Structure 1
Amino acid sequence: MRTDPKKDVVIIGLGWTGAIMGMELADEGLDILALERGEDRSTVPDFQYPDIFDELKYGIRYGLMQKPVNSTLTIRHNTQQTALPYRHLGSFLPGDGVGGAGVHWNGQTWRPQEVEYRLRSYVEETFGADIIPEDMQLQDWGVTADEMEPFLTKFESVAGIAGKAGNINGEIQEGGNPFEAPRSGEYPMPPLKNTWDSDLFAAAATKMGYHPFPRPAANASIEYVNDYGMQLGPCNYCGFCERFGCNNYSKSSPQVCILDALKRKPNFSYKTKCEVLKIEKAADGKTAKGVTYFDDNTGEEVFQPADLVLVCAYSLHNVHLLLLSEIGQPYNPDTGEGVVGRNYSYQMTGGTSLWFKDKVFNPFVGTGSGGMSIDDFSMSQIDFGKEGFIGGSYITGSHSGGRPIQQMSLPPGTPSWGAGWKAAIGEWYGHNLSIGSHGSNMAYRDTCLDLDPTYKDRHGRPLMRMTFDWKDNDIRMTQFMKSRIEEIARSMNPDSMASGYKAPGAQYDVRPYQSTHNVGGAIMGTDPKTSAINRYLQSWDCHNVWVMGASAFPQNLQYNPTGAVGGLAYWALDALRKDYLPNPRPLM
């Protein structure tokens, strides 16, 4: 095995968190190497017009996603089943290559509510511990909204988020989200312009006494220059956002916001098609001495020594790597002991579609995170004891495009193929409005990640095994949201409507897309018996291993995770710079 010259820092994965860590630590004068297992990707040439608008290649055949033949896991519903490989992408779509899922996302960028950081404490103080189901493993994050605020602000400034503040230093702002945690100031950019369907939803919600506001977006509403001198141009509403790279420098991504500035740093370098196989521990077992990776360019394994190992891959891969490296005790759902793999959770979503014969919405004019939302049924606004569930959801009226393959929505009763289908497309295209629920998902004793005893990857390593199914608590939550959304929908007097939400007894189905919001498994906290990393995202077991990403979430938010992921990266950096680098040691 080849051994390369030692680096101060090795970064595993070059997506959002890897780019952030590289940019900030390069300013400390450290010698940094990032290892990315996918290919290099840049706005030019990879996201150029017209190639990037190939819906078949990118929307259907997942041109920017990881291929299961190279990277997958096994999945089962419960610990009594035998897990089987996830052979075809469906439920979630991890990004491949430089930029990761930060390339193909829609740009929905939220901050957690105050209560979400301390959910167990909030539930016990407000409703009593008795309402927590016996198998639900609610945990506090170990940080507070006040502690996180400046770091969330930093990420929003770097990413260039468009929106309208609802609470600035405790003062409610007209037109914003009145239920958000207090912010120190406005968003970097004003909100995106609304499409007509969003305005109709907002009017209906207002009439019912709710509080609509523009959904925060990593889609530029104006020209913008961020903290690193990177320039964004205003979104042109092309309708090709999710599953596509942005050709217009308008959707925030590691490429658009960080990487071109980072690549100019003389003390930063990166290698692509280099998959980290294992974090290598020092002889004392208390620190890491570097990583072993497989270089697809040369076909050989390489040992890369480093003083600091930053795990910045996708959340599932972070957990897999910790398990393979034997960093932290693997979680055992039978005993409840162990920490790595504990508290995996996902995202509970649903939606209602409305069709209007006399309204045309021009859906081809779309942007990834446009729309109007309400937070009236969010975590902090629901009486968990009365409603019989713990959780919450934001609700949005929006559309992201009108593409010919994925976004041809037809009312119930229309033919699914043939001449009748063609006629229905002609009659109904552009007449559809959608209202969606994006809700939380709690973690349970038996929703977890571990190593599969049977299946192996191309390097001979055990695949990771996911044990996950929907639970009654979260289904009750989504059924509650269904009732609220359908009330709003009926008030809009559509000619037809149809709903899709998880019904009582529903099981997790990996085939339809739901979200790429896989969280937990390497969760943060203040107790090494129930968390894999401390409140600064530092491994309890190897103090020079730090683990970024949504794998740190103890249970999932009601919101999209990227805002919190970016904020946590800057939070961890603050501790790294001020407390760790001058004196490397466990910070807790």
Structure 2
Amino acid sequence: MSFQIKNSGEAYDVIIVGSGAGGGMASKILSEAGLSVAVVEAGGDFDPAKEEDRTQLRPPWESPRRGAGTQIRPFGDFDAAIGGWDIDGEPYTRKNGTEFDWFRSRMVGGRTNHWGRISLRFGPNDFKRASIDGLGHNWPIGYDDLKPYYDKVDKLIGVFGTKEGIYNEPDGFFLPPPKPRLHELYMKKGADKMGIPMIPSRLSMLTRPINKERGVCFFCSQCNRACQVHADFSAGTVLVHPAMKKGKVDLYTHSMVRKVTTDESGKATGVSFVSKMDMKEYKLKSRVVVLGASACESARIMMNSKSKSHPDGIGNSSGMVGRYLHDSTGTDRMAIMPSMMDRERYNEDGVGGLHMYTPWWGDNKKLNFARGYHIEYWGGMGQPAYGTGGSMDSMRKYITDEFGAPSPNGGYGAGLKKDIRKIYGSTMGMSGRGESVPMYDNYCEIDPNTVDKFGIPVLRFNYNWTDQEVNQAKHMHDTFEEILTESGGILLGSKPGPETKYGLLAPGRIIHEVGTTRMGDNPATSVLNSNCQAHDCDNLFVVDAGPFVSQADKNPTWTILALAWRTSDYIVSELNKKNI
């Protein structure tokens, strides 16, 4: 059952704030255990199978912008994510020259509607980095604690890949991967020459059926639009909506949570939220509150949840809420492959993302940075969309230098079309996604002078990359150039230098932010215990990426899902024991 506005007098067993990976998983596990659940979501409902929500397979001319991005869909007018880095009436601020950009996805399923679905497990070393390099802190749990839950997530959701036996890139239960595309085969030749591994990707898209409810990938390469047959993983379609059909789950949409409410003893009693439908405030009651609103949003809610028992915000007696914020590093490079120019046209769309990737292979003890990165590969003859030919000026220079003069009047009209056809399918590139070192001085806090349109105090960010991340970005570009040239490619553009931090994107741009409510055994230096339970409030839990002690060189979603499942099992156990 779905609600836009409701003031509940009766208490739920559990209120879950947010419906993304963590909140979605919690809604499924807790409701299947027989608990009554309320899911409170700041955005609207969303199902890509419904015609009013479908963007998949829509041609560019169906958009007045030919598919170009908008403020609320910065990745393209047909991208599934509704939100972005800049949302009207929902500002955030920065200090000390910070460039942090905060992406929010206001819809059921959150960011899982449009993500790349790179579904990597953290490895044994990723939980114990401080023991390896002396930086940051170890997690209070290890890989063996999460392995059973990674296994369950693999089987429930589905992920393709191959067993490779790489120690810190653990294998799972894999569906068959799609074959490499031509540009990936070219780049593998370059990687092989350098002794750098390049293996089939691990993405959560169904290449084989796993149940009757979901379809199988038909290789349209538009997973960022969310799948109308639910063949890719989105929390709304795979977790929240099925939970609503099977269990006692109420969904509150367009509901902006202001704070966690508490009683005189400091226990959580529910949440207060502002309905976007009438701008009035409502309250819901529950025995347990679970925050899964995203690392920064959950931290914001906790810091705004002040009371006599929690004067600095609920769960924040240590002052650690908002601290150790960190995002993945990222930078990119592109090349043109002469031998792929003017080739025969055929459909090589594949899945919506990379068919092959490179896990971290280096020995950081021999390098000038402490943490690694993985490489994502892209290119090929994807269906032309808005922006195709947009970098023709730089590409035409290389056509001129390497292959003679381009078409007459190639900057527009028939000449431009001829050049685009020549180049189409011959460009390829690489993206690095790496681990940054968590820093106490990278944080979000409540801005004392700014509120959003709902009257809720907003976040203010302080974040700076360190030499660790800058040196890592330089290594990325050195590697990119060598792989691309060894593959036979001609590099496009110039190599970024130290003045741009070697092309290192601003923090927040990779949308992997973690660590704001980190777990630990010591309540003085952490927010949550190893079960993602607040040290200061035993009926408050966090199930997004906030509990992460460190990020790893992998995407965080599979670990969010595994942790959320583990936390949900713990909640059920503690409720049954009447401990909370």
CA contact (8 A) 1:7 1:307 kept: yes
Provide the aligned length of Structure 1 versus Structure 2: 538
- Given candidates 148, 152, 155, the residue that maps to 2:153 is 155
Q: In structure 1, what residue type is equivalent to 2:249?
A: F
Aligned match for 1:340, one of 281, 302, 321: 321
Match of 1:370 among 334, 345, 354: 354
Provide the residue aligned with 1:323 in structure 2.
303
In the TM superposition, 1:227-242 aligns within 5 A as: 230-234=213-217, 236-242=218-224
TM-score (norm 2): 0.85
SS at match of 1:473: helix
1:457-496 equivalent positions in 2, closer than 5 A: 457-496=452-491
SS across alignment from 2:49: helix
Distance of 1:495 and 1:162 partners within structure 2? 32
Among 26, 31, 34, which residue is 1:26 paired with? Answer: 31
2:289 match: secondary structure: strand
In the alignment, structure 1 segments of 5+ residues that lack a partner are 125-131, 133-137, 168-177
Which of the numbers 111, 124, 129 marks the counterpart of 1:114? 124
Deviates more, 1:40-49 or 1:269-278: 40-49
Q: Which amino acid aligns with 2:138?
A: D
1:180 maps to a residue whose letter is: N
Cα pair 2:373 2:433 within 8 Å, conserved:
yes
Alignment of 1:247-396 (within 5 A): 247-285=228-266, 287-326=267-306, 338-360=319-341, 365-377=349-361, 381-384=362-365, 386-396=366-376
C-alpha separation in 1, matches of 2:494 and 2:256:
42
1:98 is matched with which residue? 108
Give the residue type in structure 2 aligned to 1:344: L
Given the alignment, which residue of 62, 76, 80 partners 1:60? 76
Q: Secondary structure at the match of 1:269?
A: strand
1:437-516 equivalences in 2 (<5 Å) = 437-498=432-493, 503=498, 506=501, 514-516=509-511
Judge conservation of contact 1:349–1:438 (CA < 8 Å) in 2.
yes
3-state SS, counterpart of residue 469 of structure 2: helix
Query: If the length of structure 1 is used for normalisation, what is the TM-score?
Result: 0.84
* Alignment equivalent of 1:434, drawn from 429, 432, 435: 429
Between 490-499 and 23-32, report the one with greater CA deviation.
490-499
- For 1:358-394, what per-residue CA distance to the aligned partner results, in whole angstroms no more than 9, with x for missing partners? 21586871433332222243xxx4233x312111011
Secondary structure (helix, strand or coil) at the match of 2:472 reads: helix
Structure 2 residues not aligned, in runs of 5+: 1-5, 398-409
Q: Do the aligned partners of residues 499 and 157 (structure 1) sit closer, same or farther apart at CA in structure 2, a change above 3 Å counting?
A: farther
Contact 2:189 2:487 in 1 (8 A): no
Aligned to 1:413: 394
Tell me, yes or no, if the aligned pair for 1:37 and 1:274 is still in contact at 8 Å. Answer: yes
Give CA-to-partner distance per residue, 1:322-367, whole Å, 9 cap, x none.
1111497869xxxx96210110011111222110222158687143
| Alpha-carbon shift at residue 463 of structure 1 (Å) | 0.8
Letter in 1 for 2:54: F
Contact 1:452 1:464 (8 Å CA) reproduced: yes
1:74 to 93, 112, 127: 93
1:224: how far off? 2.5
In structure 2, the CA distance between the partners of 1:181 and 1:364, relative to structure 1 (3 Å rule), is closer
Q: Structure 1 478/329 Cα, relative in aligned 2: closer, same or farther at 3 Å?
A: farther
Does the C-alpha gap of structure 1 residues 553 and 68 become closer, same or farther in structure 2, counting only changes over 3 Å?
same
- Give distance in 2, aligned partners of 1:446 and 1:329: 22
The answer (yes or no) to whether the contact 2:34–2:247 under 8 Å persists in 1 is no
Counterparts of 1:78-89 in structure 2, within 5 Å, are 78=96
Name the SS of the counterpart of 2:531 in structure 1.
coil
Identical residues among aligned pairs (%): 20
Measured after TM superposition, the shift of residue 26 of structure 1 is 1.2
Q: Provide the C-alpha distance between the structure 1 equivalents of 2:452 and 2:461, rounded to a whole number of angstroms.
A: 15
Q: State the shift of 1:245 in Å.
A: 2.0
Q: Give the residue type in structure 2 aligned to 1:230.
A: E
Partner AA of 1:94 in structure 2 = R
The structure-2 alpha-carbon separation of the partners of 1:371 and 1:50, relative to structure 1 and needing over 3 Å to count, comes to: closer
Counterpart Cα distance in 2 of 1:347 and 1:500: 21
For residue 345 of structure 1, give the secondary structure of its aligned residue in structure 2: coil
Which residue of 196, 207, 213 maps to 1:210? Answer: 196
Shift of 1:512: 10
How far residue 207 of structure 1 moved from its aligned partner, in angstroms, is 3.1
CA shift, 1:164, in A, is 0.9
Contact 2:149 2:562 in 1 (8 A): yes
Match of 2:173 among 186, 189, 212: 186
- Identify if the C-alpha distance between structure 1 residues 452 and 153 changes in structure 2 by more than 3 Å, giving closer, same or farther: same
Contact 2:394-2:492 at 8 Å conserved across structures: no
Quick check: 2:193–2:486 contact (8 Å CA) kept in 1? no
Residue 254 of structure 1 aligns with an amino acid whose one-letter code is A
CA contact (8 A) 1:520 1:555 kept: yes
Checking the alignment, whether the CA contact within 8 Å between 1:520 and 1:554 is kept in structure 2 is yes
Mean alpha-carbon deviation: is it higher for 202-211 or for 429-438? 202-211
Instruction: Deviation per CA, 1:477-508: give whole Å up to 9, x if none.
Output: 12112212222112112234446667366399
Provide the C-alpha distance between the structure 2 equivalents of 1:397 and 1:578, rounded to a whole number of angstroms.
43
Q: Which amino acid aligns with 1:233?
A: V
2:12 to 7, 11, 14: 7
Separation in 2, partners of 1:507, 1:73: 27
In the other structure, the counterpart of 2:143 is 145
In 1, the alpha carbon distance for the partners of 2:370 and 2:202 equals 25
Output the amino acid matched with 2:259.
Answer: K
CA RMSD of aligned residues (A): 3.1
> 3-state SS of the aligned residue for 2:68?
helix
1:364–1:402 contact (8 Å) kept in structure 2:
no
Mapped contact 1:439–1:558 kept (Cα < 8 A): yes
2:39 is equivalent to residue 47 of structure 1:
no
After superposing the two structures, state which structure 1 stretch, 452-461 or 47-56, moved more. 47-56
Q: What is the Cα deviation at residue 294 of structure 1?
A: 1.4
- Closer, same or farther: CA 376–260 of 1 in aligned 2, 3 Å: closer
CA contact (8 A) 1:438 1:559 kept: yes
Residues 526 and 13 of structure 1, relative CA distance in 2, 3 Å threshold: same
SS at match of 2:471: helix
